[in-house]
Structure 1
């Protein structure tokens, strides 16, 4: 093949107490075309973030593609990259992981390979954790962990009743900024609380969504980040008080809601946020030949 079209989903991570460990793929997709040419690099972008993403070798998709090609022994002479972005940038919906997974998957496809655990390793190295990358790569529910410098993940089937709603504000976030708000240690009681809730979240997401309201409660990271996004945390609390399972999506400021009936209560004020009803993506990244 001399070109591929890659479709890659958004993702939401942490899911309450599953910090850097739990991810869920969402049916909101970026589409990226890779065309190998004789020389040079052309980057074309439309949609989310198109006005701000770089048009050179520093583009995240290009960097991930180059890394995969290097690993696989490929050396494309030139590349035309066409990005149609639907995943909001810097909102806690895995836009950077989607970009990385798209680049890695394209490199693998052009080498004649399916994405595998090594592809996940290449993708996860860009962010230092595998939750979003695993969800974007394999779809469904991802449980991610690390063993030394190796990143691992398993994919689980989501419960068919899950009906995510993401509430996206206008303001952007930076993961490195919100991560800097986290303490070096947490009380043992909070760690135990988080362990129980994250384990319950796996069960709730895959087998019993009625437990999500309890499962998505968190003491591990959300309380420490409230100063960065007070409106986000106020909305999470309002939804939970109305009986809707809710959490901060990734590093924020987007809010993830998982209402049992797929509908948000009319009584909850969502001013400043745009709700998007999106399905769970069960397929993960998809690659097809161009043409």
Structure 2
């Protein structure tokens, strides 16, 4: 078994929705999955994982990264090589921080790196391929490209626009020990909403773009939502309780993605510790506080000649 090219991939966590921007807005955050992926002889597969979710991640062809790499190779009509995947997972799994989107983005970037010099996969191709696997572009867009992204489905498929976030925006993520299934959270959504609620979210989504890029002092009003968070509250009452307590105290707090983590978009780094202290005193659930930055680069891939220490 002869090893071929090895690429190193880094992909950030993401938080989707950001309150009113349901299935549209996403933000890349400074927590990362890091992987080394090596070409092996066809049919060979080795997967080593440490970090979040390591015990639950498949070590066979059903692995999401493997399926994504295979999807890319099939799309460009190239034979799939064997793969050795060594992964360190920093992105919390099942917590509303885009772990599946990060895996898909990692697979796309790995395939891009392994195919470099043979096939050119541009940004539009990467987003298209990632959306075909993930189903929605709101998580994969910031995972691939970083920053604040607006994602939508256009006439020719998934599209995105990347925006730079105001330097006064300071993200805090409060992560509980329990998990939430994205599919379960989506099942709680009603099939229809009122015109009043739709107009409310349209106005807040527009305001949120201005708040995140120009006017952080507007973040509390801009993150209000009537489309999805209240409907999902029954599945994660401690999350809803914390969001309400934080918002009552003036913090721009929302459910991160499908939950159950809580994202606080503070209008300065000093305010975050106040939010952490409020979280500690509000619910019976312990919250792991992640004081983060907005990741501006997104996922990266480069050829590697070194090694990544992974304990399986």
* 1:177 aligned residue: 184
User: Within the alignment, does 1:58 sit opposite 2:62 as a pair?
Assistant: yes
Identify the match of residue 3 of structure 1 among 6, 20, 37: 6
CA distance in 1, matches of 2:243, 2:122: 35
82-91 or 63-72, which deviates more: 63-72
User: Within the alignment, does 1:276 sit opposite 2:280 as a pair?
Assistant: no
Gap change, CA 1:114 and 1:278, over 3 Å in 2 = farther
In the alignment, structure 1 segments of 5+ residues that lack a partner are: none
* 2:27 aligned residue: 24
User: Within the alignment, does 1:157 sit opposite 2:152 as a pair?
Assistant: no
Q: Is the 8 A contact 1:23 1:134 kept in 2?
A: yes
187-196 or 39-48, which deviates more: 39-48
The superposition leaves residues 206-244 of structure 1 with CA deviations (integer Å, 9 ceiling, x where unpaired) of 111111100101001011000000100110111111111
* 1:99 aligned residue: 103
CA distance in 2, matches of 1:257, 1:13: 13
The superposition leaves residues 143-192 of structure 1 with CA deviations (integer Å, 9 ceiling, x where unpaired) of 01113671111111111122100000011111110100000000100000
* 2:310 aligned residue: none
* 3-state SS, counterpart of residue 273 of structure 2: coil
* 3-state SS, counterpart of residue 126 of structure 1: helix
* 2:300 aligned residue: 286
Relative to total residues, which structure has the larger helix share, 1 or 2? 2
Question: 1:264: Cα distance to partner?
Answer: 3.5
Q: Is the 8 A contact 2:246 2:278 kept in 1?
A: no
* 3-state SS, counterpart of residue 121 of structure 1: helix
User: Within the alignment, does 1:206 sit opposite 2:213 as a pair?
Assistant: yes
After superposing on structure 2, the runs of 4+ consecutive aligned residues of structure 1 that deviate more than 4 Å are none
* 3-state SS, counterpart of residue 293 of structure 2: coil
Q: Is the 8 A contact 2:15 2:27 kept in 1?
A: yes
196-205 or 133-142, which deviates more: 196-205
* 3-state SS, counterpart of residue 110 of structure 2: helix
CA distance in 2, matches of 1:279, 1:267: 21
TM-score by length of 2: 0.90
User: Within the alignment, does 1:126 sit opposite 2:140 as a pair?
Assistant: no
* 1:249 aligned residue: 256
Q: Number of residue pairs matched?
A: 291
Q: What CA RMSD, in Å, does the superposition of the two structures yield over aligned residues?
A: 1.4
